[in-house]
Amino acid sequence: MVYGDIVKFIVLFGSNMGEKLVVVNFKTYETAHGLSAEKLARAMGSLESDARIVAVVSAFDLSSVVKIAPNLEVWTQHLDPIQFGSNTGWLHPDTAIERGAKGTLINHAEHKVSIEHIAMLLDQVPENFTVCACAANIEEAEALAALKPSFVAVEPPELIGGEISVTSADPKIVTGTVDAVRNISTDVGILCGAGVKNGSDVSIALELGTSGVLLASGVTKSPNPIGALNDLISKI
C-alpha cells in the first residue's frame, strides 16, 4: 500500500519550550479508514523521533486507532460544542476524550464552522486538550488567535494541494499572520500550510517566524511517506 496517496501530514512546532509536533491528518481517504487507518497508525507509532507525533483520525476510527497504537497521540478531526442529549449526528467532546482523543482540528478548510462554534468548543474542552484552529487568511487567523486555541494554522485554500509552497507564493500571508497573532498572544502556536513539499519550504517557514508548517503533497505523493517525513524533519 502506498500511504503517500492517503494522508496529509502536518508538521507543527509548539510554542512551549520549542516542542516539535508531527501531525498526520488521515481525512476520509479510502485507504486511510478502518483497518488501513490502524495500519498507518501502527507504523507512525513505531517511528523513533524526538518530535511529538500525532495522528488525526475520523471519529469512526478513534477508538480502534487508540487501542492499536497505544504509544501514539491521537486527535479527532472535528468536534461540536454540544451537551449530552438530543444531538443526533453531532460529535461530543467528552465522548472523544473518553475514547482517547488528546486534541482536535477545527475549522479546517474542508469543514468550516463559525467563530462562535470554536469559542464554545474552547470553553468546553479541558485546558490540556489541544485545539488547532485553521484559518484561510490573516484576518481569520487574528480572530481565532483572540480565542486562545493551542495553535492557529493559516492555509490559503487556493494553494492547498498545489505545486508552489505558500512560503514562496505568498510569504506575506505568513509574516502577516505571525504579526497579527503575536500582537494578541505569545502563547498561541503559529502554523502555515499549502503546497509545502520539502525541507527548504520548512526552513523558510520558520525563517518567516512561524511555529511550524502544514505539509501535504510533499509527503502524500511520495512512494515512501515515512522516509519523506523523516527527511522533512531532518531539514529543520
* Segments making up each domain of the chain, as ranges: 3-234
Q: The CATH number of 3-234 is which of 3.20.20.70, 3.30.565.10, 3.40.50.970, 1.10.1470.10?
A: 3.20.20.70
- The residue behind cell 438530543 is 86
Catalytic positions: 108, 155
pLDDT, tens digit, 9 for 90 and up, residues 174-191: 999 999 999 999 999 988
Q: What is the pTM of this model?
A: 0.86
Q: Residue 101 is placed in which grid cell?
A: 482523543
Selection from 86, 83, 91, 10 nearest residue 58 by Cα: 91
pLDDT, tens digit, 9 for 90 and up, residues 141-156: 999 999 999 999 898 9
Other Cβ atoms closer than 10 A to 38:
17
pLDDT, tens digit, 9 for 90 and up, residues 75-128: 999 999 999 999 999 999 999 999 999 999 999 999 999 999 999 999 999 999
